[in-house]
């Protein structure tokens, strides 16, 4: 078995973000993400041939960071690492409580974080299998989630809030995003729960939904509340972009009606 020093030396050669030429907040954030147990998870993923290298950060969030990674064929992937050292997951426990897939996790932060990683992977699987545009999930282990990279060699796809939509395209894009809500409820039996312009990417002219960890099963006791919030967020954003908005109550009724006809998993 490799020693800790050998593992770290190996990782320094393959994880650009560990290099020591950083200063200030960037280094502090990286240190929070790359704790010893996380480094061991990444090492296992590398020695098992899942990852070859981890390059630069794509995004930084309250719960974790997303990095650009490649496999041994130099194919791109996104590696999402959830922090195990902060308390922000306390507010996220409400998304797990009441989910029959995750029971008995209250009070153990590390187990909660591992469950959250598992939850996002499984939610992505559901959406992907239902043909909802999301990054294809690849693998997860403990607090690390590997998925499809949305972007190209120049960088990640932009958030929808940062792109300029042509007036002739706004209504079509709005309808595509509404399908995330309606078809996601009917076919994936999920409610995203935090859908907004911050977690929709635009790539090749099409919206892609991301950050699905908090998605709830459609029979969750809070599902309708979060469904209504998703609808209101989407309507608010697209109204400001000039779309022909459908009344929120009408969308809600259609979604619930479609859900009654859908596959209740």
Residues with catalytic annotation? 194, 211
Handedness of CA 42, 48, 54, 60 (dihedral sign): negative
Distances (CA, A) of 167 to 152, 159, 240, 243, 244: 26, 18, 12, 8, 11
CA–CA separation, 113 vs 87, rounded Å? 10
CA–CA separation, 244 vs 256, rounded Å? 22
Residue 58 · residue 80 · CB < 8 Å: no
The token duo for 193 is 């729960």
Task: Tell me the longest C-alpha to C-alpha distance in the chain.
Answer: 61
CA–CA separation, 112 vs 106, rounded Å? 7
The token duo for 124 is 């992505």
The token duo for 148 is 């499809």
The residues, any chain, with a CB within 8 Å of residue 128's CB and separated by 6 or more, are 134, 136, 137
* Nearest one of 153, 147, 149, 155 to 45, comparing CA atoms: 147
């Amino acid at each position: 078995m490799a020693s800790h020093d050998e593992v770290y030396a190996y990782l320094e050669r393959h994880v650009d973000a560990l290099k020591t030429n950083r200063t200030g907040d960037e280094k502090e954030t990286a240190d929070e993400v790359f704790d010893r147990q996380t480094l061991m998870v990444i090492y296992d993923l590398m020695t098992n041939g899942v990852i070859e290298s981890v390059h630069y950060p794509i995004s930084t969030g309250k719960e974790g960071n997303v990095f650009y990674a490649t496999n041994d064929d130099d194919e791109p992937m996104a590696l999402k690492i959830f922090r195990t050292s902060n308390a922000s997951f306390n507010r996220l426990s409400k998304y797990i409580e009441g989910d029959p897939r995750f029971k008995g996790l209250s009070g153990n932060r590390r187990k909660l974080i591992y469950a959250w990683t598992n939850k996002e992977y499984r939610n992505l699987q559901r959406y992907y299998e239902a043909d909802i545009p999301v990054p294809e999930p690849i693998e997860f282990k403990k607090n690390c989630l590997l998925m499809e990279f949305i972007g190209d060699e120049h960088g990640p796809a932009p958030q929808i809030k940062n792109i300029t939509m042509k007036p002739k395209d706004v209504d079509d894009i709005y309808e595509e995003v509404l399908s995330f809500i309606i078809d996601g409820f009917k076919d994936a039996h999920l409610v995203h729960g935090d859908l907004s312009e911050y977690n929709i990417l635009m790539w090749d002219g099409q919206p892609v939904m991301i950050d699905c960890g908090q998605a709830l099963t459609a029979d969750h006791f809070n599902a309708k509340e979060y469904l209504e919030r998703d609808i209101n967020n989407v309507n608010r954003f697209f109204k400001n972009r000039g779309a022909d908005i459908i009344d929120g109550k009408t969308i809600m009724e259609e979604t619930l009606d479609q859900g009654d006809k859908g596959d209740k998993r």
